[in-house]
Structure 1
């Protein structure tokens, strides 16, 4: 305000000064004008006086005085014509000087004129012209002064205008300065104070204004900062208090919301006023039930009520501040459990109360009981326990340690366990043990140690490491048992699992493991070895004839002989039954292997003195070489097996080396098997029938059904080629069913049209009878469907069937015989012990093998053999059929010997069903 007032005063003073300046200039200009007019007036008056003499004219001196007064006023300042003027600017001094000279000259001229007038009463022309000239000159100088003053007045006005603008600018500048001062000293502090107040309104009391002025606003700002500081401190105290309360509440909530302890509060009336969820869960009540006038003593078993009530009263009545005790709590369902109580007295709403914690210690009780039992176990267990420090120094042992090792506690504690070391383990063993302990903290294994009495034993040791909280090792805990006898039993079991119990040779499992390791070694060292597959010839006959005891003795002797034929580095193993294998290492040449195999054949074929009998057998061997014949065990064994069968095919008691042709032959067999399956599906098989005639009449009474196979690409396939293959593959069962069905269909026709008592013989393979897929009931249903009596079907079996029979085959044969189907024993006399089995089944026919008949003549030894067979069969009530009759002589000899039936090319070769029908027609067998 002072600044504005000063500014206004300055403006007024300035304007007044400018006005005075303008007045002075105006007065000066006015006075200069008067002087100009006065100069003309003096001249005019002088002229007028000359023209009008006697007139009332002022005195010249008065005019001169006025002009001089005016000039003096202009020059020095003063009053003239009532006008107060200031001295003119020094700028006009030259002009005034000129005016003064002109004035003086004018005065001179005029004075002369006046004198003339007064003297002569007339002026001359020259004087008039002089006056006019002097007047003009004075007027000109007066005009010049006036013009200069006017011009100066204009300049002053222009300067006044610029001065006004400058003054206006100064006013604006001063006002801006005033505005900024107001902004700085008033508005900004007010705004800052306002902003601070706004922040404080929303709760921000940490804000402070920065006003440092000492005026009223500064004092207000200081007071406001102090107020904010006090409020902030107050709020901080409140927040701290609230935080503490919240923290306490959170701590209480965290404690109350735990899943372990039940938290409760008991009022002075001994009723629950608070219970957490865990307490409700533990007691089986809801929280609402517990806080609804629930008496505290109801939480406990009745027998604990007196103790609990006394403990509560002690705290409520001030005799005890806190307590801790164990008691028994009661569940809502009536069950009880052990608890531990922690209780503290407190004030609640001005009344004494108790806050406490109830912990279910049933598990802890059980743990303590378990620990007590563990301590008992530690003291009484049969498993030895030893505790050592990180360096292996013994800290403690249990009694079982003393029992096993013989060392008492005072003899072993403080010493290292190497006192019981057996010395059988090297440094690497113990290094591996300690490395495992460092890496995983545990180690387990068998270790040989020595008892105090010097006896060596095997212990199964398990070491566990106990760690401190910082990860360092606290101790090692060793648990061990004496497993000496166990390992001995395991060794026996391992030997039983890997060695044949009968021959004490490595068994199939041991052989396979040895074969794999031998292959791996040979591959790594680029070595060659031989695998020999051995199969005993005629062993089954010995076993079936003399019994299994004699067969077992034979196998033991074979094993002994095989071991004597090979080197100590070679392996002899029994795969099972009468199959053996040899792994011959370090093969330098094939001749070395052949030499060993010849030795094997020679030794095996020597007579065997069994317990009660002397027998002879032989062996067939197949040889393969690694890696030429195979690079894995399965391939080598398969190829050795093929070579062994090749040796058998060559006549047995031989050895054969595998070659690729054997594999090709096996492949050929697989292709034949595939074609066999297709042939059965495409009905490529047909039946031929060979008549069986009655010896006495020569008439056809029976026929044997014989299968034939016409393969589109192979042509007629020999039954001897595909029947064994069908037996091996199991296809003999569906093939046999087809033969049976086809033969019975034809039999039904012949019995209906030609001969009602005609019968057909069907060969049944042992594989069929041994198979669970053979459905004898289906055969019987087929006979019933075709109305064929069961005795019209004769089942022909071989002596091999009698030798290999088992429960399944016996049941199948009995089922057929029980239904009335007759049984014929084919190829009789070729078996090893056929006579011992004649009583096993109810045999209806014996068929003398063609090997006894084909060379039969009057001088042949076979005559007596055939006669003996026929007599024996008749004595047993069995009829005889002779196979392979090819001559009249053979027919006559057999007829004379009493043979019942004959079969052979002399009567008729196998023919088709159509040809058989023609033969029956020729014999007039129509019904």
Structure 2
């Protein structure tokens, strides 16, 4: 009989949980105790005293612990703990027929601040952001950091958590976190991207891991759009997320199998018309999809931490191509390879490039190193600066890529020993038709001339743009109007034909003279 009663008690655990954990349970304790004493005497009273704690433990639904509002949440939690917290919040919401929501926030800009002023200031900023976030929370909500710059927010169960309410809350959090921050080294400005998911938007009965993943998917969508973007999770994002994961795995295999290789786009000297160099550009030669443009896979390589491996592949193939052109008598003075800030932070970069040049028996002057202007603007000191200076001292030519889109100062240009400015295509487009565009370009070229730097104009699309750039004093030009990127053998064919055209033009000029 007692066994059947205990089994029934366990089956009714959910209902007991709600009753036993409510404040109204306290009102019944005196009556329950008195009834037990009158009905069963002292033995019944003892049984009640011993049984209530057991019933309370038996009815526990796991919602106590880290989400107990009277127990502070740790400042930093890992992925497993985040999923556990989300599980508990979902359980609370489900037992009350209410809704909850999960927010993921990413503070953009902490890396650049760390490179400028160090880790201590960044850690103070992380703590300050968490304090601001928790100041917005209600009792029962929880907020914690789950990475270097990422934060998790879980809302306590509530009756009204529709899309409009969640968007309003996301906007409030974003505005609070993006307020400028004063520190001992100056004022810091951050942008915050937010992705969120309401529990009512997920189909079925999701667990905590799925809840957190949905918010992370929405955050990834926000980060891919623009700074300070806010995105709500939708079911269509699930398919996009799967496709993204598939691309990540596929691009890693492609890199290992040698499917990602450099193609080369020629640069011409505006004075002589001859090839002054080539730029190595990554291309994915997919066995089924054909040529995959870099915008589709470079971000995937960055997410998977494979950019340094891509740099090695590009450098080795580029130096191999250069040796091959030399062997066939094709004059290509230099090959330029792009280096991201990830590769430029490697302490072994200079030694690795020196070793590769020695292995191919090539002087350092045959290798150009292209560095984005934003990298120089954000890294005036530290490993990046030492690497760029070391490569310049080694004899490599340093090109400042996409000049005009960042905020590199003239002092930074001199400190890093830059040899050439690569003028961004936004300054070149319509330069032959737009007077204002022409004045802006002339100002950039004048600055480079005063600093003693050569210039390369990117994105040249027409003969008239080419001619005008030469008239304005731009030293080199590059773009589809001259030639598209090509594999090494096609470039060799194009270079021979171009050399013949230049030679023929010179002969005509001499005859006319």
TM more than 0.5: yes
Check 1:623–1:888 CA distance in 2 against 1; reply closer, same or farther (3 A cut): same
Following TM superposition, by how much is the alpha carbon of 1:692 offset from its aligned partner in structure 2, in angstroms?
Answer: 0.5
Check the 8 A contact 2:325/2:332 in 1, yes or no: no
Whether 1:875 and 2:450 are equivalent positions in the alignment is yes
Q: Matched residue pairs, number?
A: 422
The CA distance in 2 between the partners of 1:885 and 1:549, in whole Å, is 45
Check 1:794–1:556 CA distance in 2 against 1; reply closer, same or farther (3 A cut): same
Match of 2:492 in 1: 917
Shifted more, 798-807 versus 739-748: the winner is: 798-807
The CA distance in 2 between the partners of 1:747 and 1:728, in whole Å, is 30
The CA distance in 1 between the partners of 2:111 and 2:430, in whole Å, is 29
The CA distance in 2 between the partners of 1:792 and 1:699, in whole Å, is 16
The CA distance in 1 between the partners of 2:172 and 2:200, in whole Å, is 24
Following TM superposition, by how much is the alpha carbon of 1:843 offset from its aligned partner in structure 2, in angstroms?
Answer: 1.6
Equivalent residue for 1:794, pick from 368, 386, 392:
368
Q: Deviation digits for residues 554-602 of structure 1, max 9, x if unmatched?
A: 7787667645654344334444554333222223332322221133345
The CA distance in 2 between the partners of 1:710 and 1:725, in whole Å, is 16
Match of 1:710 in 2: 285
Match of 1:593 in 2: 166
Check the 8 A contact 1:537/1:618 in 2, yes or no: yes
Match of 1:182 in 2: none
Check the 8 A contact 1:799/1:834 in 2, yes or no: no
Check the 8 A contact 1:853/1:885 in 2, yes or no: yes
Which ranges in structure 1 are unaligned for 5 or more consecutive residues?
A: 1-497, 500-505
Equivalent residue for 1:536, pick from 97, 100, 107:
107
Whether 1:520 and 2:88 are equivalent positions in the alignment is yes
Equivalent residue for 1:672, pick from 212, 230, 247:
247
Check the 8 A contact 1:751/1:758 in 2, yes or no: no
Check 1:637–1:856 CA distance in 2 against 1; reply closer, same or farther (3 A cut): farther
The CA distance in 2 between the partners of 1:769 and 1:545, in whole Å, is 15
The CA distance in 2 between the partners of 1:855 and 1:519, in whole Å, is 56
Check the 8 A contact 1:754/1:920 in 2, yes or no: no
Check the 8 A contact 2:144/2:152 in 1, yes or no: yes
Match of 1:619 in 2: 192
Q: Deviation digits for residues 871-908 of structure 1, max 9, x if unmatched?
A: 33333332221111123443344334432211112222
Secondary structure in structure 2 of the residue aligned to 1:535 = strand
Indicate the structure (1 or 2) with the bigger Cα radius of gyration: 1
Following TM superposition, by how much is the alpha carbon of 1:518 offset from its aligned partner in structure 2, in angstroms?
Answer: 6.0
For CA contacts below 8 A with separation 6 or more, give which structure has more relative contact order: 2
The CA distance in 1 between the partners of 2:306 and 2:284, in whole Å, is 14
Match of 2:19 in 1: none
Secondary structure in structure 2 of the residue aligned to 1:713 = coil
The CA distance in 1 between the partners of 2:344 and 2:430, in whole Å, is 33
Whether 1:570 and 2:159 are equivalent positions in the alignment is no
Following TM superposition, by how much is the alpha carbon of 1:682 offset from its aligned partner in structure 2, in angstroms?
Answer: 3.4
Whether 1:582 and 2:153 are equivalent positions in the alignment is yes
Check the 8 A contact 1:750/1:758 in 2, yes or no: no
When the two structures are superposed, what TM-score results if normalisation uses the length of structure 2?
Answer: 0.69
The CA distance in 2 between the partners of 1:585 and 1:685, in whole Å, is 48
Check the 8 A contact 2:278/2:336 in 1, yes or no: yes
Which ranges in structure 2 are unaligned for 5 or more consecutive residues?
A: 1-71, 504-513
Q: Could you list the runs of 4 or more consecutive aligned residues of structure 1 that deviate by over 6 angstroms after TM superposition? A: 510-515, 542-557, 611-616
Match of 1:508 in 2: 76
Check 1:730–1:515 CA distance in 2 against 1; reply closer, same or farther (3 A cut): closer
Following TM superposition, by how much is the alpha carbon of 1:635 offset from its aligned partner in structure 2, in angstroms?
Answer: 4.3
Match of 1:903 in 2: 478
Following TM superposition, by how much is the alpha carbon of 1:711 offset from its aligned partner in structure 2, in angstroms?
Answer: 1.2
Match of 2:337 in 1: 762
Q: Deviation digits for residues 33-63 of structure 1, max 9, x if unmatched?
A: xxxxxxxxxxxxxxxxxxxxxxxxxxxxxxx
Match of 1:639 in 2: 214
